[in-house]
Amino acid sequence: MIEKKIALVTGAMGGIGTAICRRLVQDGYTVLATHRPGKEDVASKWLEEQAYETDTLKPLALDVCDTQACQTVLKSVLETYGRVDVLVNNAGITRDVPFKRMNIEQWNDVINTNLNSMFNVTQPLFQPMCEQGSGRIINITSINGLKGQFGQANYAAAKAGMIGFTKSLALESARYGVTANTVAPGYTATPMVTALKDEILESIKAQIPQRRLATPDEIANSVGYLASDEAGFITGETLNINGGQYMH
């Protein structure tokens, strides 16, 4: 049994995922950072950029859309490390298009990656967390799962589903010392967003009372808090980080 706490982060190599991994490493976790199978070269380059030792930050090939693969890989993780203390479900994609033109592939791609992955990754780890008497499950949803967004019926449906899933999981796990919460970022300064044209970025900022984007570190800091002992009495909640753009 390894004494150092173990965290597993899906969608680890995007802008928010990278910041979450960095925060959890700083907090003393060994972090298992998932990537798509066959992308080992991308994962190796990403790991080199992070400049952490491989015993602190470890790439993990995992297809979050493959139920059987998740069961197999995560069983191996538990055999190797003895436990997982923190699970961050962050994997997500977009396939934006107005619903009247949306096809079933665009719908299914987003639902499978953003919502069905929650079952695939969480289910093999949930009972072991309950049996060990502690754990943190943190799911990264979105402001658009709360308010909706034009052209994102698939994405908003998946992100809203994450919130319902998390509340139900929180009720089942509370007696075992396992918490389940969601973080709902607003527009965040990831490389994908900051690559937008200046006029589009300015129009986005104009919708936000603070007149700026969130930083990835601000999202990661909320994950670090929810993973900490200080957040032990918080479960079933959604932490909104959107600069006042949507309050409810």
The catalytic residue positions are 155
Beta bridge partners of 141: none
Which among 234, 209, 210, 207 has a CA at the least distance from the CA of 223?
234
- What residues contact residue 169 under an 8 Å CB cut-off, 6+ apart? 122, 126, 137, 180
CB 78 within 8 A of CB 130: no
As a whole number of angstroms, the distance between CA 151 and CA 191 comes to 21
CB 59 within 8 A of CB 43: yes
DSSP 16-58: HHHHHHHHHHHTT-EEEEEE-TT-HHHHHHHHHHHT--TTTEE
